[in-house]
Structure 1
Amino acid sequence: MDLVATTAGPAGHLFGSHGRAYKNGSYLSRPVSTSGKRRRLLDRRGERWDGAHSICQEQEMETPGKGSAAGKMTAMAHSLRAAQPAPWPCPEGRARPRPLGAAASSVLVSQLMDSDMDYERPNVETIKCVVVGDNAVGKTRLICARACNATLTQYQLLATHVPTVWAIDQYRVCQEVLERSRDVVDDVSVSLRLWDTFGDHHKDRRFAYGRSDVVVLCFSIANPNSLHHVKTMWYPEIKHFCPRAPVILVGCQLDLRYADLEAVNRARRPLARPIKPNEILPPEKGREVAKELGIPYYETSVVAQFGIKDVFDNAIRAALISRRHLQFWKSHLRNVQRPLLQAPFLPPKPPPPIIIVPDPPSNNEERPAHLLEDPLCADVILVLQEKIKIYAHKIYLSTSSSKFYDLFLMDLSEGDQQSAVGHGFGGAAVTAAAERMLHQEERHHGRDFLLRAASFDICESTEENGSGQRKPCLRASTSDGILRGNRYENGERGLRRGRDLSSWSRAFTSIQEEMAEDPLTYKSKLMVVVKMDASIQPGPFRAVLKYLYTGELDENERDLMHIAHIAELLEVFDLRMMVANILNNEAFMNQEITKAFHVRRTNRVKECLAKGTFSDVTFVLDDGAISAHKPLLISSCDWMAAMFGGPFVESSTNEVALPYTSKSCMRAVLEYLYTGQFSSSPDLDDMKLIILANRLCLPHLVALTEQYTVTGLMEAAQMMVDIDGDVLVFLELAQFHCAYQLADWCLHHICTNYNNVCRKFPRDMKAMSGENQEYFEKHRWPPVWYLKEEDHYQRAKKEREKEDYLHLKRQPKKRTSEQAIREHRTQHRGRGRAQVGLVPLIAGGTVPGGVLG
């Protein structure tokens, strides 16, 4: 059935059965198909002729007491039925519109009421808002943020731009979009319909501009050309197609003003034009253009979710004010305010940089094994099968095996010197007279003589026997052998100390201190020679030594049984357990044994450092001296390895001077090199430690110290302690000594507290380097542009308050005029409605024109 309701259109136009507007005897639109007539009639987009609900919306055919949408539509249907007998003029060759029956009128009204639920509520103002602007300025993102509550990250916005248009049909197909379109602005219920457009300049947008209530003109603050096109292209086009529609200027992509442009450009597509810092427009640029055009100006950011509500709420206000001038009888529009001022956007405070501690050097675990193969600074010779010599280090053996620890701490002076000498370890022979003197001294004095050895110095006193001969006083200190070893180095004859170990352990035969040749430097030095049991084979023994140095055992070792035998002799029970796991195909359990091994050795190394046990070098510092161990230093620090293993004086001496270094800093460095862990103390100076760690080429320790320093500063700041002065001191020192993470944190603290720091330390801030001052000006928070905007906002706010105050002072006069109108209407009630009495009053000019608006 080809039946379409015939309704009255705006300004006297009528819709016929063919979907054309008719006025003054002629049709104003070309015919449309029957299938599209109902769609065109019920279209909610407000473009061309929108059907009966558009008439209800814009012409407001309301009568007193009939303000609802249902009442309006019913009145329209009755008026159409009453107008049926009057024939309509129709062009030749066209069918006359058929009359509209009562049933069809009811169907039409129900369809129109169901087509848009917004019109069931009274006084609902539908606002058509058209969004225009250049391509890629953020129009569609802004519309989606308002209509769909879409939130996007900055990196999602930086994806490859594809020109898109948000479909207006979303208001019909999506209930959520329709619900979000409803809002209340200044006590006025509105339904905001957003129209998206293409940004191409050659596109024809007259269809979108048609019957628009307000136009939102967008540009990007990161694209100066888009702002230039606002004046040269967009604003003239808007005024051409909709000259009466108010315009709102909007600066989009506000987040790029404070973003890291380098990171943004890296995240963009490769061929995209990079965003330059000098292209970022300050707020005053957009405000100047808006002032020149006489339109409001706002800024938005979809990323920061800022300004979206401000833009569209004030666009609604501008549209309602414009509508109020034409539809002055609508009382609910009288309280609509003019577009409000927008408070400036304060960028979020940048978070402090995170101190990243890099992984420790990966080769630190392999260096002990290399040290075993390349015996630099070796102080132990292990003799296997009377001819094979293996060079090792006391500190590694003693901290990994309790048996070696007890062996190297054994007092060799209490041993059987004659039996030890009889084994013939080489060197000068001890005379028989010296042996008799030694045994005689031990018989006469016993333990009383050992108790008198209270010093590490050589005992210079001599005792004279009955025959008047002098005899040397020997003491039992373990350092006695080292001191006598120095006498051997000077070419003097002395006594060697040794001991037979056949009854002490099955793994060792004997131990003796003697002068031996260093395998690398070929210089003679005092070393400890340990003869191993004849049953110990070289191959398995080297695997055992590798375990003692690294805590690891190769699963592919062939002589596992011999390794287990040597581990049994040396009482290294963890190694024996690892062998058993490999034999039982449970090698994965050895990882836990290795971890326990390192924990145990770390504790023993700390003990040796604290007591100075097995030390072979002394560092002379500004406030004292501290003993250390060359093998541990060489295996954990390249700087130390170069110093002790290269052609330097320090490689052949037992004392090394380190000027401008304190004991607390050096002890912290040694503990780090020994254990890989950072340890602090109350007297530790963080900056001096960073300087020392940088001198020794230890970036991992520098990072650990930076983290410790920043943590201390943050804790002090939380306790309301002023740290600004300390941060200024740390800044340039950290930059000079390559503590870049600490320097970045100091820069961040100064930038985020710029005003306070400048007020308290003006001279220090002026004395900063040019690069630092430039960085402060660029990254200070709040930024300079925000301070300027805040100042402008406060001044504009005061001016607006002053204007509102003056407006309120004029309000009593306005009320008096309204009272005069009501009185005049009352006097002329008999002659008709109030409109009859208004004519002479308005003609007389006694009522201001703004009263009725």
Structure 2
Amino acid sequence: QVLERSRDVVDDVSVSLRLWDTFGDHHKDRRFAYGRSDVVVLCFSIANPNSLHHVKTMWYPEIKHFCPRAPVILVGCQLDLRYADLEAVNRARRPLARPIKPNEILPPEKGREVAKELGIPYYETSVVAQFGVKDVFDNAIRAALISRRHLQFWKSHLRNVQRPLLQAPFLPPKPPPPIIIVPDPPSNNEERPAHLLEDPLCADVILVLQEKIKIYAHKIYLSTSSSKFYDLFLMDLSEEDQQSTAGHGFGVAVTAAAERMLHQEERHHGRDFLLRAASFDICESTEEAGSGQRKPCLRASTSDGILRGNRYENGERGLRRGRNLSSWSRAFTSIQEEMAEDPLTYKSKLMVVVKMDASIQPGPFRAVLKYLYTGELDENERDLMHIAHIAELLEVFDLRMMVANILNNEAFMNQEITKAFHVRRTNRVKECLAKGTFSDVTFVLDDGAISAHKPLLISSCDWMAAMFGGPFVESSTNEVALPHTSKSCMRAVLEYLYT
């Protein structure tokens, strides 16, 4: 059976291939292994640079000494190690075996360089990958037949024998698909949105409690969590008569032209406007809030086009627009737009000031705000009844239900309410992104612009938090240029960060 397997046909020539291995370390007896050899296959390991070095210094000179006329084929073995996971290979080897290092793997150019220097063919094989084994034996037979044809040139059956052929390149195995791990969405107890309440970065709303306590918040979080706040911030504040405006604390009633000039002055700090000659009347209709004393105010005559009034009152800039909300909701008393000082940058910016009802206490109201930002309610809250009262005023019925569950020792049911809260807010956030509602920053892209919301970006991306909260130009501007970016790509990124 072994003899039958040794027979082969190469280039229409029938041959019988007999293999004879060397004796290894038996230097004295190894010379007998070369006797009557037709071809010598000289092998080395591509994972052992020393074996390739010994090819030139030891094995090839020895072969030429004992077999001066026998052709030699250089073969690089263990080709699969070039593309294998060496850590897994080393773990599978014997405990005392020397580990294979990545820098010891020889590239094919090294073997070809040595083969070219010796003037012999070069092949690579891998028994594990079943590559190149037949190529080595077929071309070794061809080399032996070519050598015999030089001596027996009259034999016609040797005329069609080809020289050793070039080996087809090895196709590395298809790498396993990369393991793509999509990070889980932020958990319900994510601290970042709640942290915006403690560190009011990019705040655009001031909630005033009991006429003296100010809480800074963000339109996008309040409006996407509460329908009442959504309607409040979309309310048209321009339709306000002079009487209600004065009732909200305006010190000066100005004409539309004067207001436009005040806007221009805010954009150009340090520029003084010339005042035209004007006659002023005392307006007796304005009363100080909370007292019965009448407070006179300056009113420009219709002949005056520009008026520079007192724009600073109680240390803040004059109010811009306002509206009385006592008849609209029990939770709010008024809403106003004014130039207020940012609590972090100490720069003046246009903010919305909402005065809350006097019955709303600061502690429970902060718990309500935390729910509007995170969808969570702490079971250990003390003033649950006050929280339920505020939730009733703001029409946040899910929060009132969570309070009822805690009072009934059924707090475990609040998890489902929190999940529904996040699903509902995700849909509203997508709508605000699509319409640009409550946006405070615009990304200028190659093919257009997209409006976005700084608070949502800060709470969902470290890079955005550093850009808008750090000492960068983007933290104080409303437009951010992102070159080499399209609207479709940026919209996909924003939707991922938002949801």
**Taking structure 1 as the reference length, what is the TM-score of the superposition?**
0.39
Question: For the structure 1 residues 440 and 233, does the alpha-carbon distance in structure 2 shift closer, same or farther, using more than 3 Å as the test?
Answer: closer
Distance 1:479 1:613 in 2: 39
For the Cα contact (< 8 Å) 1:411–1:478, is it kept in 2? no
Q: CA deviation at 1:410?
A: 2.5
Q: CA deviation at 1:373?
A: 0.9
Question: For the structure 1 residues 230 and 597, does the alpha-carbon distance in structure 2 shift closer, same or farther, using more than 3 Å as the test?
Answer: same
Question: For the structure 1 residues 326 and 349, does the alpha-carbon distance in structure 2 shift closer, same or farther, using more than 3 Å as the test?
Answer: same
Q: CA deviation at 1:370?
A: 2.2
Question: For the structure 1 residues 480 and 244, does the alpha-carbon distance in structure 2 shift closer, same or farther, using more than 3 Å as the test?
Answer: farther
Question: For the structure 1 residues 452 and 460, does the alpha-carbon distance in structure 2 shift closer, same or farther, using more than 3 Å as the test?
Answer: farther
Question: For the structure 1 residues 550 and 337, does the alpha-carbon distance in structure 2 shift closer, same or farther, using more than 3 Å as the test?
Answer: same
Q: Pick the aligned partner of 2:370 from 528, 536, 546.
A: 546
Cα RMSD over matched residues?
10.3
Q: CA deviation at 1:239?
A: 6.6
Q: CA deviation at 1:307?
A: 1.9
Deviations 1:271-301 (A, max 9, x none): 9999999999887986787689786653334
Q: CA deviation at 1:629?
A: 4.8
Once structures 1 and 2 are overlaid, which stretch shifts more, 224-233 or 579-588? Answer: 579-588
Question: For the structure 1 residues 662 and 481, does the alpha-carbon distance in structure 2 shift closer, same or farther, using more than 3 Å as the test?
Answer: farther
Question: For the structure 1 residues 342 and 486, does the alpha-carbon distance in structure 2 shift closer, same or farther, using more than 3 Å as the test?
Answer: farther
Deviations 1:431-480 (A, max 9, x none): 99999999999999999999999999999999999999999999999999
For the Cα contact (< 8 Å) 2:445–2:484, is it kept in 1? yes
Question: For the structure 1 residues 279 and 607, does the alpha-carbon distance in structure 2 shift closer, same or farther, using more than 3 Å as the test?
Answer: closer
Counterpart position of 1:378: 203
User: Helix, strand or coil for the counterpart of 1:217?
Assistant: strand
Once structures 1 and 2 are overlaid, which stretch shifts more, 384-393 or 539-548? Answer: 384-393
Question: For the structure 1 residues 237 and 394, does the alpha-carbon distance in structure 2 shift closer, same or farther, using more than 3 Å as the test?
Answer: closer
Distance 1:226 1:440 in 2: 83
Q: Which runs of 5+ in 1 are unaligned?
A: 1-175, 674-853
Deviations 1:363-417 (A, max 9, x none): 9964432221122443333233454332222232112211101122224466798
Question: For the structure 1 residues 350 and 516, does the alpha-carbon distance in structure 2 shift closer, same or farther, using more than 3 Å as the test?
Answer: closer
Counterpart position of 1:396: 221
Distance 2:209 2:288 in 1: 44
Deviations 1:48-86 (A, max 9, x none): xxxxxxxxxxxxxxxxxxxxxxxxxxxxxxxxxxxxxxx
Question: For the structure 1 residues 222 and 613, does the alpha-carbon distance in structure 2 shift closer, same or farther, using more than 3 Å as the test?
Answer: closer
For the Cα contact (< 8 Å) 2:75–2:124, is it kept in 1? yes
Once structures 1 and 2 are overlaid, which stretch shifts more, 270-279 or 632-641? Answer: 270-279
Question: For the structure 1 residues 253 and 554, does the alpha-carbon distance in structure 2 shift closer, same or farther, using more than 3 Å as the test?
Answer: same
**Taking structure 2 as the reference length, what is the TM-score of the superposition?**
0.60
User: Helix, strand or coil for the counterpart of 2:57?
Assistant: helix
Larger Rg: 1
Q: Which runs of 5+ in 2 are unaligned?
A: none
Q: CA deviation at 1:546?
A: 1.7
The alignment status of 1:237 with 2:62, answered yes or no, reads yes
Question: For the structure 1 residues 372 and 242, does the alpha-carbon distance in structure 2 shift closer, same or farther, using more than 3 Å as the test?
Answer: same
Q: CA deviation at 1:201?
A: 7.5
Once structures 1 and 2 are overlaid, which stretch shifts more, 305-314 or 415-424? Answer: 415-424
Distance 1:359 1:645 in 2: 25
Deviations 1:768-817 (A, max 9, x none): xxxxxxxxxxxxxxxxxxxxxxxxxxxxxxxxxxxxxxxxxxxxxxxxxx
Q: CA deviation at 1:545?
A: 1.0
Counterpart position of 2:389: 565
Larger RCO (CA under 8 A, 6+ residues apart): 2
User: Helix, strand or coil for the counterpart of 1:194?
Assistant: coil
Question: For the structure 1 residues 363 and 610, does the alpha-carbon distance in structure 2 shift closer, same or farther, using more than 3 Å as the test?
Answer: same
Question: For the structure 1 residues 282 and 589, does the alpha-carbon distance in structure 2 shift closer, same or farther, using more than 3 Å as the test?
Answer: same
Distance 1:630 1:330 in 2: 89
**What is the aligned length?**
497
Question: For the structure 1 residues 293 and 580, does the alpha-carbon distance in structure 2 shift closer, same or farther, using more than 3 Å as the test?
Answer: same
Counterpart position of 1:365: 190
Deviations 1:645-675 (A, max 9, x none): 67888877778899999999987887676xx
Distance 1:300 1:274 in 2: 21
For the Cα contact (< 8 Å) 1:488–1:515, is it kept in 2? no
For the Cα contact (< 8 Å) 1:428–1:493, is it kept in 2? no
Q: Specify which structure has the higher proportion of strand.
A: 2
Distance 2:2 2:417 in 1: 64
Distance 2:105 2:276 in 1: 85
Once structures 1 and 2 are overlaid, which stretch shifts more, 186-195 or 554-563? Answer: 186-195
User: Helix, strand or coil for the counterpart of 2:18?
Assistant: strand
Q: CA deviation at 1:421?
A: 6.3
Counterpart position of 2:167: 342
For the Cα contact (< 8 Å) 1:453–1:477, is it kept in 2? no
Once structures 1 and 2 are overlaid, which stretch shifts more, 577-586 or 384-393? Answer: 577-586
For the Cα contact (< 8 Å) 1:453–1:475, is it kept in 2? no
Once structures 1 and 2 are overlaid, which stretch shifts more, 650-659 or 533-542? Answer: 650-659
Distance 2:8 2:153 in 1: 22
The alignment status of 1:528 with 2:352, answered yes or no, reads yes
